[in-house]
Amino acid sequence: MKLAQWLSANKTSQRVFAERIGVTQGRVSQICLTGCNNLRLIELIAKETSGQVTVADFMQSEAAE
């Protein structure tokens, strides 16, 4: 699942999610648009989404590009 999909499905704003993982809202927006290659940050996202957004979801995004 993409992060943007998770945020929408869980009615969570980028700002709130950003606070939870310790980044800016702008960084969450960037991740939603272009993905992320920072493994530590991807792991934080996976943990905060209870594994619904996985490391593999980010790897699939990069493979498609």
pLDDT digits (tens, 9 = 90+) for 3-21: 999 999 999 999 999 999 9
Q: Residue 25 is part of which domain span?
A: 3-64
Q: What does the pLDDT read at residue 59?
A: 84
Contacts of residue 18, defined as CB under 8 A and 6 or more positions apart, other chains included, come to 24, 25, 27, 28
Residue 50's Cβ-count burial label (10 Å; 0-12, 13-18, 19+) is exposed
Q: What does the pLDDT read at residue 61?
A: 53
- Looking at the structure of the chain, the number of domains it has is 1
Low-confidence ranges of the chain (pLDDT < 50): 63-65
Q: What does the pLDDT read at residue 15?
A: 98
